[in-house]
Amino acid sequence: MIDSSLKFKGQTIIVTGSSSGIGQACAIYFGGLGANVVVNYHNDEDGASESLKKIKAGGGDGITVQADVSKEADVISMFEQTIKKFGRLDVMVSNAGLQVDSPFLEMTTKQWQKVIDVNLTGQFICIREAAKQFVKQSPREESDSKIDTGPAIGKIVMMSSVHDVIPWAGHVNYAASKGGVSMMMKSVSQELAPYKIRVNSISPGAIKTAINKSVWSKQETLEELMTLIPYRRIGTAEDVAKAVAWLASDESDYVNGETLYIDGGMTLYPEFADNG
Ligand code: NAD
């Protein structure tokens, strides 16, 4: 169900990694709210086309753009294609991410670097380019006053994870990347707030997507997962998309530098529910 009180008609939104999972759900949700959505994909062109088809069916518009978010030239080209097609950018959803799991003692530098490159450096490049575009299209007027009650000139939503606060053995590269996203988000938010750019992040818990299929595809492991989720269900990509849309909308105008946990209570230390 789309929350039509959120207004995105005619706005341009880039969603990285939106050929599948959470990114795809976000892209389709924004499409249903009338946005122009740039569907970024890495390899999965069919998934991106599927997203675009559903965006258009929901009343939005969009394009698909191939880009590896960890490659600066690809990201710059994605922005050029976006501006050429739609003329401006209003929202950046920096969602693309991956896991390359390994016990710490066996983790190679290559496995470490791959995750840092995509999950951390990729988000850095994408949100820097978005911020540059926001400032370019809405240059600030010189003023002696420190007070500025004007609207946000752009919004950035970064995809983090509950593992920006929950340590995760066997996934040290991933947890380090998301911990990095959390501090990057806060620092960038502090720096860009005077430009009237809002920067926030979403930290999903267990959401049913390809990234964790090995856990939810078997009844036994799914039930085991429930011991970590007080709300007793796995999340859906749409649960996350709705929160992303709210954070990217003017309904959350005074929310800045925050992390919104969409996790059914996973960060509530459920092991302590029975007195620890
Ligand atoms: P997913 O695998 O369906 O989506 C990840 C997307 O990122 C894919 O479309 C993939 O092609 C894309 N991607 C990977 N490397 C890329 C690159 N170099 N350049 C561009 N795109 C690239 O899984 P998902 O669960 O939808 O993950 C989306 C985001 O949510 C990730 O950042 C992930 O860390 C985060 N997250 C997911 C969960 C969960 O439980 N599913 C929990 C917390 C955080």
101-142 pLDDT, tens digit each: 999 999 999 999 999 999 999 999 999 999 999 999 998 777
Q: Which residue from 211, 212, 213, 262 has its CB within 8 A of the most atoms of ligand 1, so it is best to mutate?
A: 211
Catalytic residue of the set 174, 195, 231, 261:
174
257 token code pair: 């530098």
* Domain total of the chain: 1
Ligand 1, atom 31, residue with closest C-alpha:
97
CATH number at residue 243: 3.40.50.720
Task: Give CA 179 to chain center in angstroms.
Answer: 14
Q: Is residue 74 part of a domain?
A: yes
Q: Are 66 and 45 in contact (CB under 8 A)?
A: yes
Q: Indicate which atom in ligand 1 lies nearest the CA of residue 119.
A: 32
Query: pLDDT value at position 237?
Result: 98
Q: Is residue 2 part of a domain?
A: no
Told to judge if 29 belongs to the known catalytic residues of this protein, a careful annotator would answer no
Ligand 1, atom 9, residue with closest C-alpha:
17
Q: Is residue 79 part of a domain?
A: yes
Q: Is 44 in the pocket of ligand 1 (CB under 6 A)?
A: yes
Q: Is 211 in the pocket of ligand 1 (CB under 6 A)?
A: yes
85 token code pair: 């097609």
In which domain, by residue range, is 71 found? 12-137+151-211+236-266
Q: Are 97 and 212 in contact (CB under 8 A)?
A: no
Q: pTM, whole model, 2 decimals?
A: 0.98
Query: pLDDT value at position 179?
Result: 98
Q: Is 118 in the pocket of ligand 1 (CB under 6 A)?
A: yes
231 token code pair: 């709300």
Pick the closest to residue 29 from 258, 224, 194, 240 (CA basis): 240
Q: Is residue 198 part of a domain?
A: yes
Task: Give CA 75 to chain center in angstroms.
Answer: 16
Q: Is 201 in the pocket of ligand 1 (CB under 6 A)?
A: no
Q: Is residue 90 part of a domain?
A: yes
Q: Mean pLDDT for each 10-residue chunk of the chain (276 residues)?
A: 81 98 98 98 98 98 98 98 98 98 98 98 99 93 85 97 98 98 98 97 97 93 95 97 98 98 97 86
Where do we find the tokens 């008609």?
9
Strand order in the sheet with 154-159: 61-66, 36-41, 12-15, 91-94, 154-159, 197-204, 259-262
Q: Is residue 217 part of a domain?
A: no
Q: Is residue 256 part of a domain?
A: yes
CA 258, 264, 269, 273 dihedral sign is positive
Q: Is 19 in the pocket of ligand 1 (CB under 6 A)?
A: yes
Query: Which secondary-structure segment (H or E) carries 107?
Result: none
Q: Are 204 and 235 in contact (CB under 8 A)?
A: yes
Q: Is residue 1 part of a domain?
A: no
Q: How much distance in Å is there from the Cα of 273 to the middle of ligand 1? A: 31
Q: If you ran DSSP here, which 8-state letter would residue 160 be given? A: -
